[in-house]
Amino acid sequence: MLALFDISGTRLVLQMGVLLCGLVLCCGGLAASGKIAAPSRIPRVENPYCDVATHIFVNLPEQATSLLDRTGTPMIVVNATLASTNALYAKFLMAHECCHHTLGHVRRYYEGLGHLGPQPFYYIRPQLRQMELDADSCAVEILKGADEAEAIETARLIMLGFGNEATGAYYPTGIERAENIARVANR
């Protein structure tokens, strides 16, 4: 559930509720059964940045997400439209989502669900900003190691497009993320 959003207020609460319900039904992350295709039926794509099963999904309401399937196995889902229209940014997103898993962010989120508060992310809200910056930094390091400078620059430019707006619920602004990406890329 750690991905970019461009929403606010009541719309945020509604979108987060729809997202959570959709992921429960589509990916089996929180429910043992659902009416929509099982994760094994969602097309899988190669993710060169980690060994986490990565799938594309046409109706994903966000760009990408990291989650656990119903057995607790790590999983990444990427928006199919984005993957097909911006391959460089999709590389950054796949690395970024891998980092959410390797840095323990996804497990921390699921642990918080046992104490679900008044809205999604309630218990990890104070950490979300830093979690996104850490996942961005980790993704840049992975992409540097893979000689994917264009993917890094594409992500930086996309983040700049958000300007001073937050890139999601309780997330850093686009400028903060772009500056963080540039700083790590230039180390």
Q: What is the mean pLDDT of each run of 10 residues along the chain (187 residues)?
A: 38 35 35 37 89 93 90 94 94 97 87 54 72 97 98 98 91 96 97
Q: What confidence score (pLDDT) does residue 39 get?
A: 53
- Residue 182: its pLDDT value, please? 98
Residue 6 confidence (pLDDT): 36
Q: What is the CA radius of gyration of the chain?
A: 15
The answer as to whether 2 is a domain residue is no
Q: Residue 26: its pLDDT value, please?
A: 37
Instruction: Show the tokens assigned to 87.
Output: 């391959």
Cα 166 to its chain centre, rounded Å, is 15
Count H helices and E strands in the chain, helices first: 7, 4
Q: Looking at the DSSP assignment, which residues form a beta bridge with residue 14?
A: none
User: Does residue 23 lie within any of the structural domains?
Assistant: yes
Taking the C-alpha atoms of residue 145 and residue 130, their distance in angstroms, rounded to an integer, is: 23
Is 105 part of any domain?
yes
Nearest-angstrom CA–CA distance, 185 and 187: 6
* Contact (CB, 8 A) for 25 and 70: no
| Cα 187 to Cα 69: distance, rounded to the nearest angstrom | 36
Domain range enclosing 100: 9-185
Residue 45: its pLDDT value, please?
92
Q: Tell whether 144 is covered by a domain.
A: yes
In a domain, 28, yes or no: yes
28 vs 69: CA distance, rounded Å = 5
Sheet holding 74-79, edge to edge: 44-45, 53-57, 74-79, 64-68
pLDDT for position 37? 43
The pLDDT, as a whole number, for residue 113 is 56
* Residue 4 counted as domain residue: no
Residue that the structure tokens 């540097």 belong to: 144
Domain assignment present for 98: yes
Confidence (pLDDT) at 128: 85
Q: Is residue 142 part of a domain?
A: yes
Rounded-to-integer distance, Cα 6 and Cα 162, Å: 9
Count how many domains the chain has: 1
